[in-house]
């Protein structure tokens, strides 16, 4: 009886202090970049920007990069920008919102260069003013830095196999968690003993759905919709 009460208390932690809702990971594609560029160009830049060349890279040092050539017109005395390129790194796991913020960061650079606007530095007063306007008025989270420091490489996370615990609870909810393999036995015992657990199953998968799940050492996880649960488990349970 004491063991059952203890396990029920542990599972209450699983249900009430669950992992944060997941943010799906994605990598940029050239078509995705073009589509979002056209959308944002119309929404935020009055469709004034010509479509640049898009390129994907596996760069470690940046998430996005804008570049252009400047050819000087000697008779007129000014440099004219051309050959606009926006590069997006596919090295790191980003949410769609983060990826869109990176693209907007580079589009601000593009606008400043295309319009020939003088700024105090690469991320000077003009850049910051445009960035702050997009963040404040439209709810974006564009930042000055677009470096990949501290982010998880996408290739490593997407090819790694994970140990997943899928379970249902007596209140009709569905849960998924990635488990540290060294704690499988202990967590399995707790799941079997918990009165609030209807059923559970273990799965090994390399599904990128789990790319942002931490590997837990206790009985906790994320609540998911039934459709997601059935897809991940292949209809088991």
Q: Nearest 10 degrees: CA dihedral of 222, 225, 226, 232?
A: -60
Could you report the per-residue pLDDT of 97-152, keeping only the tens digit for each? 899 999 999 999 999 999 999 999 989 999 999 999 999 999 999 998 766 555 55
Nearest in space to 107 (alpha carbons), one of 61, 59, 38, 25: 38
**Statement: the pTM of the whole predicted model exceeds 0.75:** no
Could you report the per-residue pLDDT of 175-208, keeping only the tens digit for each? 999 999 999 999 999 999 999 999 999 999 887 7
Nearest in space to 28 (alpha carbons), one of 82, 113, 106: 106
What is the number of alpha carbons within 13 Å of residue 42 lying toward its C-beta?
5
Nearest in space to 154 (alpha carbons), one of 231, 98, 217, 101: 98
Q: What is the largest CA-CA distance in the chain?
A: 92
């Amino acid at each position: 009886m004491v063991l059952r009460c203890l396990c029920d208390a542990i599972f209450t932690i699983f249900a009430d202090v669950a992992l944060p809702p997941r943010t799906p990971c994605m990598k940029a594609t050239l078509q995705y970049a073009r589509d979002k560029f056209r959308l944002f160009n119309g929404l935020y830049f009055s469709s004034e920007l010509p479509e640049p060349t898009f390129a994907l890279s596996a760069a470690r040092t940046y998430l996005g990069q804008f570049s252009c050539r400047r050819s000087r017109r000697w008779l007129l005395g000014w440099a004219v920008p051309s050959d606009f390129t926006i590069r997006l790194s596919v090295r790191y796991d980003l949410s769609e919102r983060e990826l869109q913020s990176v693209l907007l960061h580079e589009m601000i650079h593009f606008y400043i260069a295309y319009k020939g606007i003088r700024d105090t530095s690469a991320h000077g007063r003009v850049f910051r003013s445009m960035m702050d306007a997009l963040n404040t008025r439209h709810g974006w989270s564009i930042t000055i830095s677009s470096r990949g420091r501290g982010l998880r490489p996408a290739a490593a996370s997407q090819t790694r196999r994970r140990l997943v615990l899928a379970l249902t609870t007596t209140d009709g909810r569905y849960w998924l968690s990635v488990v540290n393999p060294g704690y499988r036995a202990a967590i399995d015992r707790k799941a079997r003993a918990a009165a609030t657990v209807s059923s559970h199953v273990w799965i090994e998968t390399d599904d990128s759905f789990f790319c942002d799940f931490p590997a837990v050492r206790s009985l906790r996880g994320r609540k998911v919709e039934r459709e997601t649960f059935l897809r991940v488990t292949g209809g088991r349970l």
